[in-house]
Structure 1
Amino acid sequence: MARKTKEEAEKTRQALLASAFKVFNEKGYAKTTLQDIAEDSGVTRGAIYWHFKNKTDLFEKLFDYAFMPVRDLLFSKFEENLPPKEMIDGLMRVWIEHAGKNENFRAAFGIMFNKTEWSEELMPFKLKFREYEFKFIKRTEQIIAEGQREGTFRDDIKPKVAAAQYFSILLGLAQYSQFFPEEVDIYNESESLIKMFMNSCLKTN
């Protein structure tokens, strides 16, 4: 019986997360209430408080659910013993795949960047997210510098500037896919997109 209860609780939690994706996307963070999410998922507000402390906690857990697997995948690649060129290429492939095809990731990205007013209550979450972004940027900068030392990347580029461009391209592609999915399928065009960035950095023979 206990196992069944645990399974049912997890089923309710997943239903709440699915409804949160939907309602936050429709109304934005500020205008969404826990009652809205409860009604959409067909549970009581009490059921929400069983799983989440408040709306902010639900918002954060939603992004943990959608973004953390991708973040972990990206950061795990940093641990692989790959040449700089392959590392930069591989990270970009992971991002484009999820930004172009992963529905949870796409929904969460759209909510965060297009449907959220960054109020004081959300600042701890935003700062935590910014910390991960900064770590990614600095690690990318190191990889590009390594590529310069081994003669793969151009000597005339600044690793810090290249890392800023790289990060901006990744975010821009995800945003573009939100606004203009009918124009360019970033997943299907990943080879061209990656090649264009790599050609801007690689040393020519």
Structure 2
Amino acid sequence: MRRTKAEAEETRNSIISAAERVFYEKGVSNATLEDVANAAGVTRGAIYWHFSNKTDLFLELYNSVSMPLEDMIAREIEAPDSDVLCYIEKSTGDWLGDLAGDEHRQRIFTILLRCAYSDDLLPVLEKQQEVDDRHVALLENAFAKARSEGYLNANWTPQSATKALWWMMGGLCSDWLLFGRRFDLVAEGKEGLKRLFGSFRPSADIVDASPAS
């Protein structure tokens, strides 16, 4: 008896959900499609019906994490007379809030951070690099707009500002995800962003971020 389209989609979603759990618990390299099949309560044949291999399944997991920051910043760059720095700071702070409140996103990013990208998983790494390169270019354009409109301190270039923000966000999230969520990601992250963006602004616009005496 042929399965309905809805039943096939339900099976596909259960496989993706099981893969997320298995990859998170065992790591992508150590997990097998047999492990995923057992967790999903399906046969390996069912997995191969929907996904050609483990890499294909892993890419589907990667694609399940939305990147709203990209669209938001792109729209703001096009808006006339906008303080792009304010918008980037708010958007990155909001992104930290989204991560802190979304266990699915936390698991996906943790899987990506822990993954050993062997030859068969190189397509996932290449996909990550493609997305990262696009986001870096977007941020550089945003900081270039801030500089052209007088919002960026002369000590910073669009490239150096982008790298500082990128490294801060990457280190912050990696430390939080991999080492037991030992601090308040949102509160401490936004405080760090406030200080960093204070240094981005021309001296007259810098808000005093020094600790109270």
Asked if TM exceeds 0.5, the reply is yes
CA shift digits 1:18-43 (9 cap, x unpaired): 11111111211111110000101111
CA drift at 1:188: 4.0
Higher relative contact order structure (alpha carbons within 8 Å, sequence separation ≥ 6): 1
Residue aligning to 1:151: 150
SS in 2 for 1:151: coil
User: Taking structure 1 as reference, are residues 141 and 54 closer, same or farther at Cα in structure 2, changes over 3 Å only?
Assistant: same
Letter in 2 for 1:91: S
Letter in 2 for 1:74: L
CA drift at 1:135: 1.5
Give the conservation status (yes or no) of the 8 Å contact 1:98–1:106. no
How many pairs does the alignment contain?
Answer: 198
CA drift at 1:89: 1.5
**Distance in 2 between residues matched to 1:156 and 1:133, nearest whole Å:** 25
Q: Which moved more, 1:186-195 or 1:139-148?
A: 186-195
Matches within 5 A, 1:1-205: 5-65=4-64, 67=65, 69-70=66-67, 73-77=68-72, 78-80=74-76, 81=79, 82-114=82-114, 116-205=115-204
Give the conservation status (yes or no) of the 8 Å contact 2:140–2:162. yes
Give the conservation status (yes or no) of the 8 Å contact 1:74–1:94. no
SS in 1 for 2:42: coil
CA drift at 1:9: 2.0
Give the conservation status (yes or no) of the 8 Å contact 1:23–1:36. yes
Letter in 2 for 1:39: N
**Distance in 2 between residues matched to 1:12 and 1:159, nearest whole Å:** 46
Give the conservation status (yes or no) of the 8 Å contact 2:110–2:178. no
Runs of 4+, deviation exceeding 6 Å: none
Q: What is the percentage of aligned positions where both structures have the same residue? A: 30
Letter in 2 for 1:126: L
CA drift at 1:183: 2.7
